[in-house]
Amino acid sequence: MDTASGATADAADTPRARLARRIAGEITLSEDPGATLRKWRTDFGVSQTELASVMDVSSSVVSDYESGRRASPGIAFVSRVVAALLDIDESRGGDRIRQFARVVSAGFESDIVRDIREYPAARPTTDVYEALDATEVAAGDRDTVNGHTVIDSIEAITSLSSEEFYRLYGQSTDRALVFTEVTRGESPLVALRVVTPTPNAVILHGVDAADLWEHAPRLARADGFSLAVSTAPLETALENLRAL
């Protein structure tokens, strides 16, 4: 491979380029591209006004595509949206691009790991609870977290091998580990029993205290992590977490 070809290949394999392909593909192939566009915009913490300004269009154009008032955006418009989102992220320090790179480098797709984030400094676990509108059902040994990882429990159960489970959970020490799509909580709590060290806090999203597996609080106390439940709207909860 000559130098020019090598440089082109390297450019196409950067975290930014891989994330750009993922976003563009998801919007383009979505049955509701406007809703998917809105999901990615809010995931990046970008307002319609800011996105429109960087794209040099009116905010009503972005609003119309997201609401479905305009026909599905074409490839050219989607490419501009993606470039604008990534440019904004890079201007803010590239946090979202780095998060995506961490997930990919760990060998997990973002449909399994919904969000992963490091905090600049340890935060009280109650900050995470507040973001998720969560209720604690068992207190843990530690009351701070250094970051959070949000895992789609159904995708993880159906897609990951036992080795991958261990690797994913084992990377979550000193963190808040959030499981979504939970019905009672048996699977994630039992799986955590084989992981050392354990996370500082576990939040089960989708189940309330009344429907929680009866042994869950006891297992959490035995392993020393805080356990909480949440039924807050997921996308709102994710937005709140990303704002921490």
pLDDT digits (tens, 9 = 90+) for 94-106: 877 876 776 565 5
Domain end (from 32, 61, 96) = 96
Query: Is residue 103 domain-resident?
Result: no
Q: Is residue 121 part of a domain?
A: yes
Q: Are residues 65 and 112 in the same domain?
A: no
Same domain, 83 and 10: yes
Residue 89: CA count within 13 A, CB half-sphere: 23
Beta-carbon contacts of 81 under 8 Å, excluding residues fewer than 6 positions away, are: 27, 37, 40, 41, 51, 55, 73
Domain around 57: 3-96
The better pLDDT of the pair 66, 197 is held by: 66
Tell me the one-letter amino acid at 180. T
In this structure, are 219 and 117 located in the same domain?
Answer: yes
| Residue 148 pLDDT greater than 60, yes or no | yes
Average pLDDT (185-211) is 85
3-state helix, strand, coil in the chain (%, to 5): 55, 15, 30
Within a domain: 76: yes
CA 3 to chain centre: 37
Q: So what's the pLDDT on residue 108?
A: 55
SS3 call for 114:
strand
Q: β-strand 113-124 against 144-152: which pairing, if any?
A: antiparallel
The closest alpha carbon to 25, from 149, 110, 152, 98, belongs to 110
Cα torsion 163, 165, 168, 169: sign: negative
Q: What is the pLDDT of residues 167-183, one digit of tens each?
A: 665 555 678 999 999 99
> Given strand 176-180, what is the order of strands in its sheet?
113-124, 144-152, 176-180, 201-205, 226-230, 135-138
